[in-house]
Amino acid sequence: MALIGRADDRPTSAHAPLRVLHDGRWFPADEMSKGAAYELFADEPLPGFLPNPRPGARHKFRRFVHATDVLAATGLGSRAAAVIATGEQPLAELPDQPLRMPVSRSLDWAGLHRLSQQPATADSVVAAIRRSATIRRGTRMIKVLSARQLVGHLRGWLPSGFCYREYDVAHLRTPAELGVLRGDGADPGDVVFALRWRAVDPLDYAVPSVDTYPGFVNIPPGDRMGPPIIGSGFAPADRHLVPEFVTADLADLPLTANASLLAYTTDGTEVTLYTYLAEQHTWARMWGPQWRHLLSSVPEGFPGDQEYFPVPAAPTRFVGRYRGETYDAIADPPGEFRLAAKIRAARYPVESIARRTVYARWRGVPCTIVRSEAGWLRVRPCRPDAEAIDQLAAQCVERGVYETWAPATEVTDAREVDIEYRL
């Protein structure tokens, strides 16, 4: 018998297990992703429910739903119950805000979804709704990766291009659901990977609309990778309404402390594969032998059993000022910014912090410098369009991101730009 019932069946004790009202029924549940989504449980295979893979689980089936799809909740989740039981003081963390849609007789959910799947100018209704999805300091961001990109990040790639607030995609847990957010458009198969980090400042992100990145919409299909870029600020999707972001100028962002590389399986399980140790500039392996099969799709020769992956220095990095001098810095948002030092006693709080990024021009096109090797620079156009791509002979490396090698002697106006953050 499924643990579902009518509204008057809900528990009344404030310390009772969490139950939520979804689709007219009450389900046992637990919070996910800081309350952005819920994991619902049932004892029979109801529509939308997946088998529960946990050994010895009390409930045989589960489903993931977004917090905005839950009409009511009562009781405590496992995290809140643990806080009460142990007396632990939870970290003060502001919640992200959902999309806000104006009440209208003429615009229902289906109509809004249709509008989100076509270009939208700044004065349109859908653009006003899109602006309600904002990033704050500490917002958890996520970028869905292919196996090739997973290996690239372990070897030094940085967050760039299209990304999403975890709040908006926390209920998407299977490769089939997350596959549309991959940058290469390939079949996700039985596992999909992701990079998760915390935003340092809204300055680092932009909305990929027809007003901010007009060239995206007109790039020929032969020069694109992955799903088309609509220009409304929303991802192309047949059911979900997912706000998209791009890194400002499509530039790399430095990794924040405790960033993680994840895997999602067909049963909705999230596995933390690697965690970024900022002081050591290293990815540390977190997975055990039971998850070895998740890496079967990575390129041949990848050392899956390697414990640590040193991250090489990159042109983009955090810098901070301390007693009048500038040093490399570490960002651990929302509240910790300090000098980069392996010794705890030398991890002084910085007086100011900035993202240092190298900009340049090649053949008249504004670019950022991704890396340099033996007299050559890897350049990435800040505002790619059909003309710039053709002029630079740039290749699409992922959805919306184009790169090419340029002789260092031909690149002009190369300069380090510090984007200052307000502490």
pTM: 0.91
Distance (Å, rounded) from C-alpha 207 to C-alpha 130? 9
Q: How far is CA 6 from CA 9, 65, 322, in A?
A: 5, 19, 60
Distance (Å, rounded) from C-alpha 285 to C-alpha 274? 5
Average pLDDT, 10 consecutive residues per value, the chain (423 residues): 40 70 94 92 94 92 94 75 48 74 77 88 88 96 96 97 96 92 84 97 96 92 90 89 96 98 96 97 95 90 92 96 96 95 88 98 97 95 96 95 97 97 93
Angle (CA) 365-370-375 rounded to 5° is 85
DSSP summary character for residue 101: -
The pair of structure tokens assigned to 73 is: 């909740």
DSSP summary character for residue 361: E
pLDDT at 11: 46
Please confirm whether the linkage preceding 95 is cis (ω < 30° from 0): no
Distance (Å, rounded) from C-alpha 398 to C-alpha 146? 10
pLDDT at 102: 74
pLDDT at 189: 87
pLDDT at 144: 96
Helix (H, G, I), strand (E, B) or coil at 178: helix
Distance (Å, rounded) from C-alpha 343 to C-alpha 212? 43
Distance (Å, rounded) from C-alpha 162 to C-alpha 204? 12
pLDDT at 4: 38
User: What one-letter code names the amino acid at 104?
Assistant: S
